Every structure is written in C-alpha cells, then in structure tokens.
Amino acid sequence: MKRKSQDCPSRLPDNSAVKQQQLPAYRLQLSANKILSGFFATGVFCLGVGVILLLSAKTIKEVEINYTEKCANCAKLRENAANFDKECNCSIPFVLPETMKGNVYMYYKLYGFYQNLYRYILSRSNSQLVGTDVKDVRNCAPFKTSHNGIPIAPCGAIANSMFNDTIILSYNLNSSIHIKVPMIRSGITWWTDKYVKFQNPSFQNLSSAFAGTTKPPNWPKPAYELDEEDPGNNGFINDDFIVWMRTAAFPTFKKLYRRLHRIEHFTEGLPAGSYSFNITYNFPVNRFQGEKAVVLSTLTWSGGSSLFLGLAYMVTGAVTWLAFFSMLAVHLRLRERKMFFLQQ
C-alpha cells in the first residue's frame, strides 16, 4: 500500500487553498439593512456636502464685465487684420458695491473660443517649448514655418492665437485721483509648467537663443520681448504665455491674468468704490463671433467654485433619500409577505 501511494503521489491534486477554491474569503452579503442604511447615510452625506458647497459658493464675490460690445470701435478695427499695428485703447468704468475681501484674482474670459479643438490642441511642439530644440516644429502645422521657411518660435496654432490684450485696473478714489491697482503677474502658472514643461533655450542672451527662428504671424513682437518690464519673464517662460498654452477644456473659459498685490489701500482686498479697466484691445473676437470679458473674483476653500457642484450634491442627496424611502417601503411590504410564506 505504501509503495502504491508513493508510485503516484502527483496524481492527487494538492490540497492547497488556492487549488481547492477554499481560499479564506469574505462573502459580500449586502443585506437589506446594510443597503438601506448605506443609502440613508449617503443621502445625509450628499446633502451635507451640498449645503456646505452652496454656502461657501455664496461667499464668493465676483464681478464680470463683458467688453466685447463696450469697446465696439476697437472691435471693429480688429476685424480687419491689416490694422494689426494700430493701437486701440478702451476704458470701462464700473462700481464695486461691496468690498472684495481677501485675495482677489483677475481673469480674462473668452466665449466661443474652441481651445479644445482637436487639431488646435495638437498644434504645438513640446520639445521646442522645453528649450531642447528651438527649431523643432514637427507637430505645429499649420504654423510651422514662415513663408520663407524659417521655423516659428513658439510654433503652432495655440501659440499663434495667444490672448494679447493688456488690462489695467484703476481705483478711482475720487474723480481726479486714479490709482493703478497693484497687480502681481507671477504665481499664476503651475509650478511644473513654469519650471519643467517650459524652458528657454540655454543662452546668456535670450534673443540669440531665438536666432534662426521667427515670431508667430499674429504676434506683434518676438517671444523674447513679451515682457518689457521683467526680463526674466520673457521667452517660453512668460507667465501669460504659459497660462494660454494650458488649453481649456470648454469653448467658454477664463484664464488667470493677474493677482491683487495686497498693499496700501488694498491690504484687505478690493475696497468698494468706483473702478475702471483700461484695456489695450488687441485680441480680435468678432471674427469668430466670440466675446471676451474680464472677471474679478475672490476664492473660497474649494477654489472659485460655481453653484453647480453644490446643487449636484443636493440633488444626488435628495434622490438617494427618495430611493431610500421607496426601497424601505417596498422592502417592508415584501417582508410581511415573506413571513407569510415562511409560516406556510
């Protein structure tokens, strides 16, 4: 007998838990009680989060001024591409009824601009923008090179269509004293964009780094002259440029333009009073029937959230509760019936 069992030891399958499907297992038993209490708790949670979100969204102060129509003559001028070198300024006065406390952010907002267009998104050269090869324009069609074959830097449709209005906010203390509201133009980009994704070619002199390339056709100035005030903010690492290059997901979007520098009159935020936007109108929107606006906004703990998320949570919570009650009703009625069956 012993020998026989030694002869064929391998034929009997191993008695291991895996092979015998006897692995210790937790049987997920979703009992009615568990499900119902789960629904109840989820409903409470969603309603709670919804209320908090809505309340905090209410604390946000936001001013949006659409200046497409307000600067009608400038808009008209820009409709004709031939007038690109003619400067057009436009001033828009407005009154801030309440103080905007805390950090205030200034955005420009575009309507009907399809930055999410598939070909548009692809029309850029990351290897050029990271500074490794300033002449690499491979994916940039249709803005690869100028008519005479010189590579464009920065190339591509995204860079070429960069938003180039200048917006200056003035605080009108009284009718004669107009204070330029101090704004910070740094810190408006992601750290990784500024220090990893976008790098200038390594040359002591920025203009020589861009030698052998030409500016995008829509740009009035080459990339190394984007910021005349701050030489460190030129070339591919220009903050406004980086913000623009992070393409929006929807055709209506706002992009961060400036942050309030909280000094002097503005340590608390933007005081109530009368203000005006002085806009150098460069970016044409009439050609694609778009609109543009400037937005001033404060933030809350969850960012500049809109009402949607709060409402969505409320609705979800409400629906969950509704489901909870109807399931409870069905279950209770059926349990009676089941008891009846069991008794039989």
- Could you say which residues in the range 254-293 bind other proteins, by CB under 8 A? 254-256, 259, 284, 287-289
Q: How far is the CB of 267 from other proteins (least distance, A)?
A: 18
Rg (CA), the chain: 31
Q: How far is the CB of 334 from other proteins (least distance, A)?
A: 5
Q: Select the residue interacting with other proteins from 176, 303, 336, 344 (CB under 8 A).
A: 303
Q: How far is the CB of 122 from other proteins (least distance, A)?
A: 9
- With b for 16 or more beta-carbon neighbours within 10 A and e for fewer, the 109-129 pattern comes to bbbebebeeeebeebbbeebb
183 lines the binding site for other proteins (CB under 8 A): no
84 lines the binding site for other proteins (CB under 8 A): no
* Paired tokens of 307: 């009402």
Task: Please give the residues from 145 up to 174 whose contact with other proteins meets the rule CB under 8 A.
Answer: 157, 160-161
Binding mask 91-110 for other proteins (x = CB under 8 A): ------------x-x-x---
Cα Dmax for the chain = 114
For other proteins, give the closer residue by CB, 70 or 246: 246
Task: Please give the residues from 227 up to 246 whose contact with other proteins meets the rule CB under 8 A.
Answer: 243, 246
For other proteins, give the closer residue by CB, 274 or 305: 305
33 lines the binding site for other proteins (CB under 8 A): no
Q: Select the residue interacting with other proteins from 37, 38, 41, 267 (CB under 8 A).
A: 38
Q: How far is the CB of 104 from other proteins (least distance, A)?
A: 9
Q: How far is the CB of 277 from other proteins (least distance, A)?
A: 18
* Paired tokens of 5: 């069992």
Element (H, E) at 253: strand 253-260
Distances (CA, A) of 166 to 9, 78, 105, 180, 220: 85, 15, 15, 14, 13
Q: How far is the CB of 11 from other proteins (least distance, A)?
A: 5
Task: Please give the residues from 124 up to 143 whose contact with other proteins meets the rule CB under 8 A.
Answer: 126-127, 130, 132, 138-139, 142-143
C-alpha angle 228-232-158 in degrees, rounded to nearest 5 = 75
306 lines the binding site for other proteins (CB under 8 A): yes
- Determine the Cα–Cα distance for residues 86 and 239; give it in Å rounded to an integer: 25
Backbone angles phi, psi at 167, to 5 degrees: -120, 125
For other proteins, give the closer residue by CB, 173 or 334: 334
Q: Select the residue interacting with other proteins from 51, 90, 92, 248 (CB under 8 A).
A: 248
- Determine the Cα–Cα distance for residues 125 and 223; give it in Å rounded to an integer: 15
For other proteins, give the closer residue by CB, 215 or 254: 254
Element (H, E) at 7: helix 2-7
275 Cβ contact partners less than 8 Å away, ≥ 6 residues apart = 93, 94, 95, 96, 169, 170, 171, 172, 181
